[in-house]
Amino acid sequence: MPVTSTASRHITGSEPSRRTRRGLDILNFTLADVRDGLGPYLAIYLIAVRGPGEGWNEATVGFVMTLAGIAGLISQTPAGAFIDRSRHKRAVIGVAALLVTFCSLLLPWISSFAMVALTQSLAQVAAAVFAPALAAITLGIVGPAAFTRHIGRNEGFNHAGNAFSAALAGALGYLFGPMVVFWLMAALAFASIIALWQVPADEIDDDLARGLDDGPSAHPPVSSWQALLANRHLMLLALLAAIFHLANAAMLPSIGQQLTHIIGKDSATSLIALCIVAAQCVMVPVAILVGRHADRFGRKPIFLFGFAILALRGVLYTFSDNPFYLVAVQCLDGIGAGIFGALLPVVIADLTRGTGRFNVSQGAVATVQGIGASLSATLAGVIIVHFSYAYAFLTLAAIAGIGFVLYLLLMPETMRQAGAVKPATVQIAGQE
């Protein structure tokens, strides 16, 4: 399939070939587990398999996870800047997938705190390239006019992959023990590398992929810092992303803690696992629907709906402590997080169109939202200890409400601001 010209993609939106579309779908599905590294399985393995006999307890495991999280957080913006410059995005994803898997597979053969912290931090640094690289490849293939619906499709397959891997890890872990998680990750990493080669390099326009609409000479890229700091709406979006995660990140862990007190740790673990799988399954159709309709209804009303659902979820938690009720309410996470995941890259693309700094902007926003997420559990924990679970959930709901109000009053409709066009439009959008 010949490469579609930049102007043509901007006007109509380019549909990728069947091979490319299939490759992107499989890549997002298989990479869903790899991009998160060991995640919660790290704690399970170190405590259940290594245990106090090798110096591992909740405190040491938590410290390792904090160090790795900080390393990943710091890497987000540089990773985005690197993706902006790179013309080998498929290779970057492949190397990162191998590095994350290698660091995880090393774990059974290393025991010192320093080595575990180093390998898990390196895995988080490598994983920082996945989100901007996948979004960049998609934008470089389909162009800005078709980006919204295709990023929604990406998110749908990503959530489906998360649900599949979580269910499979749970089943295989029950049958064969915690070690099976390592081999599952290796298998999915291998599958993702195969999927990469289904996405032809000559279908990726590297100028489109970094947010340049009209080729490298028409609008010379501004510096990374200028693209970030001079764009007040992008800074506002980063703040709103941090507020969303400040409100959202602590809700599932807090529910897990509450269920542990109500029904015991064994039953609570099973219910939380069910919660995660169910929420991911809800995210699949939500992400796809957002991708299909955000160009029709606009970004702002859908994003506001996501904040509203998050605030409602926090309030609903306070109505009952029945375990099945709490699990049912947690499924609303599939709506809020599904909207956020599918729409955030689209709004960033709107706000950075023509700058050539789409991916570094993704990284910067991810860094700020990561700060919000990291503070969320501490905030909720302090409120739970000094007051109650109900007060904690109401506080998180209020934070989501603040985000709703700020988005409503201060954030414009970025589809119009960026001059975004619908796929059927035949007029080149102007640059504001």
Tell me: pLDDT of 48 over 50.
yes
Lowest-confidence region among 38-52, 182-196, 351-365: 38-52
Share above pLDDT 90 across residues of the chain, in percent, rounded to a whole number:
20
The whole-number pLDDT of residue 344 equals: 92
Report the alpha-carbon distance of residue 161 to residue 412 in Å, rounded.
Answer: 33
Report the alpha-carbon distance of residue 209 to residue 203 in Å, rounded.
Answer: 11
Lowest-confidence region among 142-151, 264-273, 305-314: 264-273
Cα separation of the two ends of the chain: 33
Would you say the CATH fold of 217-417 matches that of 17-205? yes
Between these two residues, 195 and 304, which has the higher pLDDT value? 304
Report the alpha-carbon distance of residue 76 to residue 420 in Å, rounded.
Answer: 26
Report the alpha-carbon distance of residue 161 to residue 155 in Å, rounded.
Answer: 10
- Give me the residue spans of the domains in the chain: 17-205, 217-417
Report the alpha-carbon distance of residue 228 to residue 359 in Å, rounded.
Answer: 11
The whole-number pLDDT of residue 223 equals: 55
Which of 110, 80, 108 is CA-nearest to residue 92? 80
Average pLDDT over residues 401-422: 79
Query: Do residues 352 and 417 lie in contact, with contact meaning Cβ atoms separated by under 8 Å?
Result: no
Average per-residue pLDDT in the chain?
80
pLDDT band at 263 (very low <50, low <70, confident <90, very high): confident
Q: Which CATH fold would you assign to the domain 17-205?
A: Growth Hormone; Chain: A; (1.20.1250)
The whole-number pLDDT of residue 264 equals: 66
Is 217-417 assigned to CATH 3.40.50.300? Answer: no
pLDDT digits (tens, 9 = 90+) for 70-119: 888 889 888 888 888 888 899 999 999 999 889 888 888 887 888 988 99
Contacts of 71 (CB under 8 A, 6+ apart): 121, 122, 124, 125
Average pLDDT over residues 154-182: 80
Where are the extended beta strands (E) located within 148-221? Answer: none
Contacts of 73 (CB under 8 A, 6+ apart): 367, 370, 371, 374
The whole-number pLDDT of residue 406 equals: 96
What's the pTM value of the predicted model, to 2 decimals? 0.76
